[in-house]
């Protein structure tokens, strides 16, 4: 197999993989929000409430924190 | 750390880069206006002897506006907003402060050296990578220092979730690092030849078509990671903050981010359509350029929707005007780019003035507008004074908008005229025009562009004056404004 | 698996890097395996021509002139045969340019003469009425750096195997020994010119920039490989 052929296959399959990953990520984003594990939109407030004295939106690891918040 | 009640954000570095952004913006745009005028009135080429010709000044213009104005703007906004979205002050870490100060000092050295060496004619003749190897090394150091400061700040952050703007700044850091290194691989001839000749000279590691590929992989993606990625990062912070509206969809911003990262890099070969690079690669460049519309518009539409229900702010807050128009110009130029990347359109557009036209609706309408709006927003917070004059901003907005419109419309017409004349044939199939016919016909459009340069520069001087007045003599503020920037 | 991306800035940075590096890895790198092959009989630039290329770079001719003829009838009619990849094999850097404020120059050596270039560089409108190109009179007095050009020839010969003769080798002595050849080449160009200062300078052992530049421009086109057929 020549380098050109390899290049062709690599391009094709990697593009497919990235497309699958992208769609997987979209699913992941919406599912985890539906299940109440996470609230992404809340993160938008980081820009609005950004005083050094204000309480951070997420203080620790986002995932465990979100879970606590959900309960 | 938490016990310190008087802890405040430290804007020392952001201020320093604000000054250089204003300085280099003025210098770069002044040179730009001069060379635009030179094309309309060639006698202007002889103002500075050999150092004043169009050809010598043109890379100086691009480099000063890119590496002087835009990169200063990027650093200024980074050292401002990174503290805020991470909720950590630079005053808390002597290390970060030292690194950032060192970076600024080296940046000044590099910027000065860049101007001097380019005027003298030391150049690699690679577009947007003209600097010779000693300067390249210095730039690598500056960039690495920025990375250290960035990750050190991230390391001591209180806000554990990274805001979108930080994603974009991290991507800017990584992308430019990778591309810059690869494109500037060169062998200094002095050392390779046993000490013969000039120490400044180097020869590219790549030759011919390969060199072209690497160069436009860089050239295209320098636009991605300097003119797009960090500027998107800015608008994701400054538009919500100034308007008090949280970003319309955080999820959409995540998706646009990854889409942009993946797609942008592939599109570089659209600069080499119809050239001697392999055909499939040209086609790939075209296809991905069109796909690129999606993530670009994703971000832009997200920004416009952030203003949903708050459009009244557009009429009474000039900074919102700047930012909304910036994202509109971003949409325009990310649609125009893919159109130019279609092979049949490119056959006409390539090598003509339509290309600088396209570049400038992006850099003037999007990059410069966004940076100026960001600096205006930062000024009351950094200097604890209200913005000197609202009327001046309003006037500046309209003058500069007129300038951008004049620029790209004149260059569209000029480019398409020229492209069509180059290929026009008479009834016997002979070329209808000699080359010089296609140059002289452009005179009115070049004159219009020079006028648009004068207008934009005028607007920039108004910006600079307004900023300097804000720093020195505007009314002092007792407390920091939360959203809307106060202005007199 | 997506938790990781959002959780840790380090994993995030690695993710971004992989995504952006991937295109380059697949699109750019494999081409280097097929190193640029020169067209049959192509000779490298002479030292004087290399010095001329430096003048071309220094005065940044690529701001307005391309060196890439695209495969369209309108372009081949105007400039000559379309450009081949192999013709650029010894071009470091490539000088295709991205803007044609002036015409393409890839085959300018086929149809312009030393005399034409001399007039043109001195006063462009004297040969092209209406031209907006500035005059480059300083090239008639500035001295071209032929020593650095020689260093470049040595570098590309030793590191990139560009086929130069055995007389191109590292070190100051080798350069001193080689210098007369460059001067002789410059004299041949200057003999076709009329500017007295240029002739005087060449006679005094210095090469004005314009002489090197014209040697370079004359080498563009088919001359570097057709002569050997």
pLDDT above 80 for B369:
yes
Instruction: With CB atoms and an 8 Å threshold, state whether B206 touches C84.
Output: no
Distance from C-alpha of A62 to C-alpha of B433, rounded to nearest angstrom = 66
What's residue B266's pLDDT? 82
Q: Flag whether B483 is in a domain.
A: yes
**What pLDDT shows up at residue A71?**
32
Average pLDDT, chain B: 93
Please state, in angstroms and rounded to a whole number, the distance separating the CA atoms of residues B369 and B400: 9
Contact C83, C68 (CB under 8 A): yes
Higher pLDDT, B388 or C7: B388
Span B206-224, average pLDDT: 88
Cβ contacts of B466 within 8 Å, gap of 6 or more: B376, B387, B388, B389, B392, B393, B396
Set of chain A residues whose Cβ sits within 8 Å of the Cβ of B251:
29-30, 33, 40-41
Cis peptide leading into residue C93 (ω within 30°): yes
Whose tokens are 């300085």? That residue is B23
Let me know the angle formed at the C-alpha of B95 by B138 and A47, rounded to the nearest 5 degrees: 95
In this prediction, the answer to ipTM > 0.85 reads yes
Contacts of B6 in chain A (CB under 8 A): none
Number of CB pairs, chain A paired with chain B, less than 8 A apart: 80
CB C100 within 8 A of CB B352: yes
Kindly report, residue by residue over B332-345, the tens digit of the pLDDT: 999 999 999 999 99
Domain assignment present for residue B446? The answer is yes
Could you tell me which chains touch chain A, where touching means 3 or more CB pairs under 8 A? B, C
Asked if residue A42 and residue A23 are part of one domain, the reply reads no
Q: What is the pLDDT of residues B437-457, one digit of tens each?
A: 999 999 999 999 999 999 999
The whole domain housing A68 covers 38-71
The pLDDT assigned to A58 comes to 72
In terms of phi and psi (left: phi > 0; alpha: psi -120 to 50; beta: otherwise), the region of B484 is beta
Nearest to B161 among A18, A30, A57 (CB): A57
Is any Cβ of chain C less than 8 angstroms from the Cβ of B261? yes
pLDDT at C35: 60
Indicate yes or no: CB of B165 within 8 angstroms of CB of A45. no
Q: Do A30 and A47 share a domain, yes or no?
A: no
Is residue B100 within 8 Å of B83, Cβ to Cβ?
Answer: no
Query: Range of B472's domain?
Result: 372-488
Instruction: Give the C-alpha separation, C61 to C73, whole Å.
Output: 25
Q: Look up residue B224 and give its two tokens.
A: 């991605």
The model carries a pTM of 0.93
Three-state DSSP class for residue B371: helix
All chains having 3 or more CB pairs closer than 8 angstroms to chain B:
A, C
Task: Indicate whether A47 and A27 sit together in one domain.
Answer: no
* Residue A62 with chain C: CB contacts under 8 Å: 6-7
How many Å apart are CA B359 and CA B412, to the nearest integer? 11
DSSP letters of A7-52?
Answer: HHHHHHHHHHHHHHHHHHHHHHHHHHHHTTS--GGGGGHHHHS--T
The answer to whether residue B413 sits within a structural domain is yes
With a pLDDT cut of 70, the percent of chain B lying above it is 99
Do residues A2 and A31 both lie within one domain? Answer: yes
CB contact under 8 A, B207 and C92: yes
Count other C-beta atoms under 10 Å from residue B146's C-beta.
24
Residues of chain A found within 8 Å of residue C23, distances taken between Cβ atoms: none
Task: Examine residue B91 and state whether it is found in any structural domain, yes or no.
Answer: no
CA distance B87 to B1: 12
For residue B205, how many other CB atoms are within 10 A of its CB? 19
Instruction: Please report where in the chains the tokens 């430019």 appear, as a residue.
Output: B176
C23 touches chain A (CB under 8 A): no
Q: Which of B53, B265, B430 sits opposite C20 (nearest CB)?
A: B265
- Closest-CA distance, B7 to chain A, in angstroms, reads 8
Please indicate, yes or no, whether residues A68 and A49 belong to a single structural domain of this protein: yes
Res. A64: pLDDT tops 50:
no
Q: What's the pLDDT at B144?
A: 97
Q: Do residue A6 and residue A20 come from a single domain? A: yes
- Among B226, B216, B111, which residue's Cα sits nearest to residue B175? B226
Of B342, B228, B330, residue with least CA distance to B287: B342
Please determine, for residue B269, whether its predicted confidence score (pLDDT) is greater than 90: no
- Helical axes B369-383 vs B443-472, angle rounded to 10°: 10
Q: So what's the pLDDT on residue B272?
A: 87
Per-residue confidence band for A59, with pLDDT thresholds at 50, 70 and 90: low
User: Rounded to 5 degrees, what are φ and ψ at B351?
Assistant: 75, -5
Say yes or no: A42 and A71 in one domain: yes
| Distance from the B389 Cα atom to the nearest Cα atom in chain A, whole angstroms | 25
Structure tokens at B469: 């007045």
Taking a C-beta distance cutoff of 8 angstroms, is the pair B26, B461 a contact? Answer: yes
Quote the pLDDT of residue B288.
87
Residue C12 touches partner A, C-beta closer than 8 Å: no
Domain membership of residue B471 (yes or no) is: yes
DSSP string for C34-56: SPPPPPTTPPPPPHHHHHHHHHH
Nearest to C2 among A3, A7, A25 (CB): A25
Angle, alpha carbons B378-B77-B82 (nearest 5°): 105
- Tens digits of residue pLDDT in C4-55: 777 688 888 988 898 888 877 777 777 776 666 888 889 999 999 999 999 9
Q: Once rounded to an integer, what is the mean pLDDT over residues B370-379? A: 97
Is B286 exposed, middle or buried, given 0-12, 13-18 or 19+ CB atoms closer than 10 A? Answer: buried
pLDDT score recorded for residue B134: 94
For residue A62, give the chain C residue with the closest CA: C7
On the 0-12 / 13-18 / 19+ scale of CB atoms within 10 A, C61 is buried
For B277-315, what is each residue's pLDDT tens digit? 878 878 888 888 998 999 999 999 999 999 998 899 999
- C194 vs chain B: nearest CA distance in angstroms? 22
Beta-carbon contacts of B37 under 8 Å, excluding residues fewer than 6 positions away, are B44, B450, B453
Which element (helix H / strand E) includes B188? strand B186-188
Would residue B109 count as lying in a domain? no
Nearest to B215 by CA among B277, B279, B137, B259: B277
pLDDT value of residue A66: 44
Nearest by Cα to B376 from B485, B472, B476, B473: B485
Residue B457 forms part of a structural domain: yes
CB-based contact B240 A48, cutoff 8 Å: yes
Shortest Cα–Cα distance, A28 to chain C (Å): 8
Share of chain B above pLDDT 90, in %: 83
Q: What is the dihedral of CA B404, B410, B414, B416, to 10 degrees?
A: 80
Confidence at residue A1, expressed as pLDDT on a 0 to 100 scale: 66
Judged by CB atoms closer than 8 Å, whether chains meet at C160 and B207 is answered as yes
Check CB contact under 8 Å for A14 and C2. no
Helix (H) / strand (E) element for B202: namely strand B202-204
Q: How confident is the model over A27-42, as pLDDT tens digits?
A: 998 888 888 878 888 8
Q: Would you state the pLDDT for residue C222?
A: 76
Look at residue A58 and give its three-state secondary structure: coil
- How many whole angstroms from its chain centre is CA B486? 27
pLDDT reported for residue B5: 54
Distance (Å) of CA B344 to CA B162, B315, B338: 43, 41, 12
| Contact at CB, C7 and A18, closer than 8 angstroms | no
> How many domains does one find in chain A?
2
Same domain, A22 and A47: no
- Mean pLDDT for B73-79 is 97
Q: How far apart are CA B179 and CA A47, in angstroms?
A: 30
* pLDDT recorded at residue C40: 86
Regions in chain C scoring below 50 on pLDDT: 228-229
Closest CA to B20 of B371, B480, B469: B371
CA B394, distance to chain mean position in Å, is 23
User: Do A48 and A70 belong together in one domain?
Assistant: yes
Model confidence band, residue B90 (pLDDT cutoffs 50, 70, 90): very high
Q: Which of C15, C30, C31 to mutate to test the interface with A (most CBs of A within 10 A)?
A: C30
Using the beta-carbon criterion (under 8 Å), do A11 and C26 form an inter-chain contact?
yes
User: Has residue B451 been placed in a domain?
Assistant: yes
Round to whole Å and give the CA distance between C88 and C213: 18
In this complex, which of C12, C60, C142 lies closest to B59 when CB atoms are compared? Answer: C60
- Residue B15: closest CA among B88, B109, B83, B94: B83
**Per-residue pLDDT reduced to its tens digit, B460-476:** 999 999 999 999 999 99
Q: Which residue of chain C is at minimal alpha-carbon distance from B437?
A: C130
Q: Which two tokens mark B452? A: 């648009």
Look at chain A and count its residues: 71
Burial class from Cβ neighbours inside 10 Å (0-12, 13-18, 19+) for residue C40 reads: exposed
Q: Which of A25, A26, A57 is facing B159, going by the closest CB pair?
A: A57
Indicate yes or no: CB of A62 within 8 angstroms of CB of C22.
no
Q: Determine which helix (DSSP H) or strand (DSSP E) holds B355, and give its type and residue range.
A: helix B354-362
Contact between A59 and B160 (Cβ < 8 Å): yes
> Rounded to an integer, what distance in angstroms lies between the CA atom of residue C97 and that of residue C99?
6
Distance spanning both ends of chain B, measured CA to CA: 37
Please state the length of chain C.
229
Total domains present in chain B: 1
Q: Return the H-helix or E-strand segment holding B203.
A: strand B202-204
Angle at which helices B369-383 and B12-40 cross, to 10°? 150
- Asked if the C-beta of C34 comes within 8 angstroms of chain A's C-beta atoms, the answer is yes
Quickly state the pLDDT bin for A69 (edges 50, 70, 90). very low
Give the pLDDT band (50/70/90) at residue A9.
confident
Look at residue B28 in the predicted model and tell me its pLDDT: 97
Which 3 state secondary structure label does DSSP give C35?
Answer: coil
């Amino acid at each position: 197999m020549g380098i050109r052929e390899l290049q062709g296959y690599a391009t094709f399959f990697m593009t497919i993989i990235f497309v699958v990953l992208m769609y997987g990520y979209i699913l992941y984003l919406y599912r985890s929000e539906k299940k109440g594990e996470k609230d992404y939109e809340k993160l938008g407030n980081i820009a609005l409430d950004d005083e050094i004295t204000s309480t951070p939106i997420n203080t620790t690891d986002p995932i465990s924190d979100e879970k606590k918040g959900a309960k | 750390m938490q016990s310190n009640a008087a802890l405040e954000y430290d804007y020392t570095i952001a201020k320093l880069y604000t000054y250089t952004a204003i300085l280099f913006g003025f210098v770069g745009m002044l040179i730009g206006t001069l060379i635009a005028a030179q094309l309309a009135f060639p006698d202007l080429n002889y103002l500075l002897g050999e150092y004043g010709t169009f050809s010598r000044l043109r890379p100086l213009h691009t480099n000063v506006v890119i590496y002087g104005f835009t990169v200063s703007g990027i650093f200024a906004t980074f050292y401002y907003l990174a503290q805020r979205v991470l909720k950590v002050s630079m005053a808390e870490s002597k290390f970060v402060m030292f690194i950032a100060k060192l970076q600024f000092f080296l940046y000044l050295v590099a910027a000065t050296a860049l101007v001097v060496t380019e005027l003298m004619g030391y150049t690699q003749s690679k577009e947007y990578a003209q600097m010779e190897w000693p300067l390249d090394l210095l730039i690598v150091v500056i960039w690495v220092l920025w990375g250290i400061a960035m990750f050190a700040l991230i390391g001591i952050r209180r806000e554990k979730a990274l805001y979108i703007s930080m994603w974009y700044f991290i991507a800017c850091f990584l992308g430019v690092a990778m591309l810059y290194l690869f494109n500037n691989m060169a062998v200094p001839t002095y050392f390779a030849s046993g000490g013969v000749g000039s120490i400044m000279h180097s020869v590219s590691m790549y030759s011919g078509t390969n060199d072209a590929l690497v160069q436009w992989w860089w050239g295209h993606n320098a636009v991605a990671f300097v003119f797009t990625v960090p500027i998107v990062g800015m608008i994701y912070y400054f538009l919500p903050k100034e308007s008090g509206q949280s970003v319309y969809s955080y999820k959409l911003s995540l998706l646009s981010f990854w889409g942009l990262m993946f797609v942008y890099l592939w599109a570089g070969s659209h600069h080499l359509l119809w050239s001697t690079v392999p055909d499939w690669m040209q086609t790939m460049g075209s296809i991905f350029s069109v796909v690129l519309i999606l993530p670009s518009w994703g971000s832009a539409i997200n920004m416009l929707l952030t203003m949903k229900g708050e459009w009244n702010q557009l009429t009474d807050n000039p900074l919102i005007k700047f930012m909304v128009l910036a994202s509109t110009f971003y949409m325009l130029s990310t649609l125009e780019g893919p159109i130019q990347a279609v092979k049949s359109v490119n056959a006409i557009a390539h090598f003509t003035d339509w290309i600088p036209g396209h570049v400038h609706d992006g850099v003037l309408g999007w990059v410069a507008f966004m940076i100026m709006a960001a600096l205006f927003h930062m000024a009351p917070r950094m200097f604890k004074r209200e913005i000197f004059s609202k009327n001046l901003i309003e006037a500046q907005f309209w003058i500069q908008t007129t300038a951008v419109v004049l620029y790209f419309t004149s260059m569209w017409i000029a480019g398409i005229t020229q492209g069509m004349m180059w290929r026009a044939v008479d009834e016997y199939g002979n070329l209808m025009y000699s080359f010089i016919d296609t140059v002289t016909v452009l005179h009115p459009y070049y004159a219009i562009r020079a006028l648009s340069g004068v207008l934009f520069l005028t607007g920039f001087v108004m910006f600079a004056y307004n900023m300097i007045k804000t720093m020195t003599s505007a009314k002092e503020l007792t407390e920091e404004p939360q959203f809307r920037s106060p202005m007199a | 698996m997506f938790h990781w991306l959002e959780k840790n800035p380090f994993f995030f940075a690695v993710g971004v890097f992989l995504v952006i590096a991937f295109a380059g890895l697949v699109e750019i790198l494999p081409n280097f395996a097929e190193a640029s092959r020169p067209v049959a009989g192509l000779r490298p630039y002479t030292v004087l021509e290399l010095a001329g290329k430096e003048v071309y770079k220094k005065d940044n001719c690529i701001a307005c002139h391309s060196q890439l003829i695209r495969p369209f009838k309108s372009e081949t009619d105007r400039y000559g045969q379309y450009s081949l990849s192999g013709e650029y094999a010894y071009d470091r850097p490539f000088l295709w340019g991205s803007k044609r404020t002036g015409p393409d120059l890839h085959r300018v050596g086929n149809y312009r003469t030393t005399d034409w270039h001399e007039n043109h560089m001195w006063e462009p409108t004297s040969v092209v009425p209406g031209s907006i190109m500035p005059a480059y009179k300083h090239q008639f007095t500035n001295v071209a750096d032929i020593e650095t050009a020689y260093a470049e020839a040595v570098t590309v010969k030793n590191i990139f195997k560009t086929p130069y003769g055995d007389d191109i080798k590292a070190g100051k002595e080798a350069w001193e020994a080689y210098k007369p050849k460059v001067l002789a080449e410059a004299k041949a160009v200057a003999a076709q010119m009329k500017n007295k200062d240029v002739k005087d300078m060449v006679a005094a052992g210095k090469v004005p920039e314009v002489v090197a530049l014209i040697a370079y421009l004359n080498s563009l086109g088919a001359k570097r490989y057709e002569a050997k057929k």
